[in-house]
Amino acid sequence: MSSINLLILIASLFVPSLIAVGLFWGYRKWQDRDGRRSPIEGRAIYGAAEQLRKRVDDLTDEIMTSFMILIFLGPYFLAFWALQRVNWSHVSIRTGDYVLIAGFALMCAWAIWRLFRAGRVRRIANAGLQAELYTAQELNRLMGLGCTVLHDIPGEQFNIDHVVIGPRAVYAIETKSVRKPRATASKNHFKVTYDGQCLRFPNFSDSKRLQQTKRQADWLTAYLRKTTGRTVPVIPALALPGWWVDTTAATDIRVFNPAGRGAHFMADQSAIAIDSGTVALVTQALVMRYPADSASTK
């Protein structure tokens, strides 16, 4: 095989994959150009069967890698065998070949676009997942202080990330992962100011997270009134793991960092407003929101 034949063979087999990997790597580097990072980077997260889940994820990746190798093994070897037998000096490119090349290029571009889109969405989803797991881990400590803690309560085409039933109120908690900007000498890169109306992060302001938290708490209030026949105080709360929250004004929405004792205000027993009977009713009403197992057991 001549050197030109070998180069054409290698290019046809590996260049599309190398281009996709290179572009994806460059895109990730471009996303990280501002130095922003996860607010809980490096924090240990332990949930039910966490180590086993990680092991299953690693084995799943290994299985998928082996499966992809098996899928492409045949076509790659067939192409390698066939291209060695092509006499490139007699090859001419016709009109139909240009159409084929254009179709190949479009398919590659479409696949790369899907890769970028899925990678971006996965990155956001994974950050949200880690934030919810971390918040759940911290909220579970409240059970030792007499609170009832539930997670991922299905609503009406949405879910409430966490619900804590404390002595004073029921807390409808929304968790948000907001990436921190690059560290600065002023040490303000990890602080968010909450004035009761808006969240002011170091490089942007936002109120939509607060509005979402309030809507979900309002829904929970109505739902508990309907299902329990009682008016139960529900307080909306927004968890921002990894952030130092500076609250400058009183408000009906609590914004907090769940780490350490950050969520202990939910276990305050200075003014008990929910008796044990109401706790049982509220817990049952929330558990009813989980999908029922329709599979029959024998």
- 219-245 pLDDT, tens digit per residue, is 999 999 999 999 999 999 999 999 999
**Quick one: tokens of 277?**
């009977």
* Pairing assessment for the beta strands 244-247 and 191-194 based on DSSP bridges: parallel
**pLDDT at position 35, please?**
61
Return the top range by mean pLDDT from 35-39, 67-71, 201-205, 214-218: 214-218
**Quick one: tokens of 279?**
């706790």
Is the CB of residue 278 less than 8 Å from the CB of residue 158?
Answer: no
50-103 pLDDT, tens digit per residue, is: 777 788 888 888 888 888 888 877 777 787 777 777 776 777 778 888 898 899
Looking at the predicted structure, is the pLDDT value of residue 259 above 70?
A: yes
SS3 of the chain? CCHHHHHHHHHHHHHHHHHHHHHHHHHHHHHHHHCCECCCCCCCCCCCCHHHHHHHHHHHHHHHHHHHHHHHHHHHHHHHHHHCCCCHHHCCCCHHHHHHHHHHHHHHHHHHHHHHHHHHHHHHHHHHHHHHHHHHHHHHHHHHHCCEEEEEEECCCCEEEEEEECCCCEEEEEECCCCECCCCCCCCCCEEEECCCCEECCCCEECHHHHHHHHHHHHHHHHHHHHHCCCCCEEEEEECCCCEEEECCCCCCEEECCCCCCCHHHHCCCCCCCCHHHHHHHHHHHHCCCCCCCCCCC
Mean local confidence (pLDDT), 278-296: 84
**pLDDT at position 270, please?**
84
Mean local confidence (pLDDT), 266-286: 91
Looking at the predicted structure, is the pLDDT value of residue 188 above 50?
A: yes
Does this model's pTM top 0.75?
yes
Query: Cα separation of 115 and 109, whole Å?
Result: 10
Out of 44-58, 110-124, 274-288, pick the least confident: 44-58
Q: How confident is the model at residue 298 (pLDDT cuts 50, 70, 90)?
A: very low
Looking at the predicted structure, is the pLDDT value of residue 3 above 70?
A: no
What percent of the chain has pLDDT above 90?
43
**pLDDT at position 294, please?**
46
Q: How confident is the model at residue 31 (pLDDT cuts 50, 70, 90)?
A: low
Angle between helices 276-287 and 208-228 (to 10 degrees): 110
Looking at the predicted structure, is the pLDDT value of residue 146 above 50?
A: yes
